[in-house]
Amino acid sequence: MNVFLYLRHFPPRGAPLVGGTEKAVHGFAAGLAASGANVTVLCTGPNDSVVVANSGYAIRCFARPASRRPFAISREMKHYLATETEGVVVLNGLFTPSVFSVARTLWRARKPYVFAPHGVYQPELFRRNTHLKLPYWTLFERRVLGNATAIQVQDGRQEHWLRARGVRTPVIVVPSGVFADDVPSNIASRWRSEGGPAFLFFGRIDVYGKGLDLLLEAFAHVAEPVDARLTIQGPISGRQPSIRELAVKLGVADRVTLLGPDYDTPGPIRMADYDVVCIPSRWESYSVSGLEAMMAARVILISNVAGLAPHVAAAECGALVSPDVPTMTTGLRELLGRRAHWREMGWCGRQYALDNLQWRQIGSAALEHYRRLVPDATATRRNASHAT
């Protein structure tokens, strides 16, 4: 079966994989390929190119169009989408203008596509930049969702928010996963034996969306009695409130370290220097950093809105909290009270990921979904053709 995965900013040469969506698309492509699919990742870059990644899938890059308009895609890409994509095309990206343009090209050519937004359309998402998001939703995003053969979510609970916004397109659940050899067991078995507890946030620094203000305030309530430290590491997303100023205001500046992104060291290896990985998001489609923490056998504090949260609960490798300060404070205190069990909890999380969330398993299950979708989509197009 042919499967095409569109992610505008996927690296044309396949590496380095920086963002969570890039890592998820790479893993999914490799899992599909390992399950027998013929997989091509479609992206945009400086030049046309085709390469075959070591993981068994092809990367076809289309040169950026001369137009700088956000909705612009090249003629070559339009032609390829309309004539060369027999199978299923999976579009990746939330509120992404080029996704709308690709989707429009496909539905005009009567080609089936699956939309994987990598985001949750819950109310919190619309509370920031509402003046931009609501018009885009009305004019573009809702049409991409409505014309899809299916919507691919990473957590079944996300269907609720689609239905609440009037979207009736069928939903399939495809979580993100791990590779068995991502983190050797000798790395995961490293554990700090001295000093106070070390907490880590590892990911894109979006203070509001990622809930870093909530985490800092909760951390301020628990840090001093146990001599805890918090490290926040990652790229800054746009114009953000100063984490350093907030830490000073809360009286924990001497306990908080802010580090820039490290694109050379794999996340799980970086996490092995800490005890607890924190994912305090106000909204979170899944959490690739949470998966990396499981593979590194770290304990996890995670917001219950994140798609990975049910897996953390099933693995018993951390604490689920609401995205608010009182609950997050309680969660941190509960974890501190279980410090003697952190190593055991971490290994439970690693084993759960290896047993349930390997990319080959996920790719195989997704292929079964797609095989059921394609005949239905083909029949729909044939009926529409007869009707005209």
CA dist list (Å): 352 to 44, 298, 312: 36, 13, 9
Among 39, 40, 38, 45, CA closest to 11: 45
Token pair, residue 46, equals: 């400086």
pLDDT of res. 384: 39
Report the predicted TM-score, pTM, of the whole model to 2 decimal places: 0.90
Contact 92, 70 (CB under 8 A): no
Q: Give residue for tokens 């490293």.
A: 190
Quote the CATH superfamily of domain 185-356: Glycogen Phosphorylase B; (3.40.50.2000)
Among 154, 146, 139, CA closest to 170: 146
Q: Starting from the edge strand earliest in sequence, which strands make up the sheet with 229-233, in order? A: 256-259, 229-233, 198-202, 276-279, 299-303, 318-321
The secondary structure element, H or E, covering residue 276 is: strand 276-279
Quote the CATH superfamily of domain 2-177+358-387: Glycogen Phosphorylase B; (3.40.50.2000)
pLDDT of res. 110: 93
318-349 confidence digits (pLDDT tens): 999 999 999 999 999 999 999 999 999 999 99
DSSP 138: I
pLDDT of res. 289: 94
Q: How many CB atoms lie within 10 A of CB 383?
A: 9
Contact 178, 291 (CB under 8 A): yes
Among 118, 87, 149, CA closest to 25: 118
Radius of gyration of the chain (CA): 21
DSSP 64: P
DSSP SS3 for 92: strand
Among 157, 164, 151, 199, CA closest to 286: 157
Residue 88, φ and ψ in degrees, nearest 5: -125, 135
Burial 354-369 (b: 16+ CB within 10 A, else e): eeebbbbbbbbebbeb
44-74 confidence digits (pLDDT tens): 999 999 999 889 999 999 999 988 899 999 9
| Under-70 pLDDT residues of the chain | 238-240, 375-388
Q: What angle do CA 233, 215, 324 make, to 5 degrees?
A: 145
pLDDT of res. 180: 87
Q: What residues does CATH 3.40.50.2000 cover in the chain?
A: 2-177+358-387, 185-356
CA distance 37 to 131: 41
Point out which residues pair with 43 in neighbouring strands: 61
Give the type of residue at 72.
A
pLDDT of res. 240: 67
Among 305, 312, 301, CA closest to 278: 301
pLDDT of res. 184: 73
CA distance 9 to 102: 14
pLDDT of res. 230: 98
CA distance 24 to 252: 34
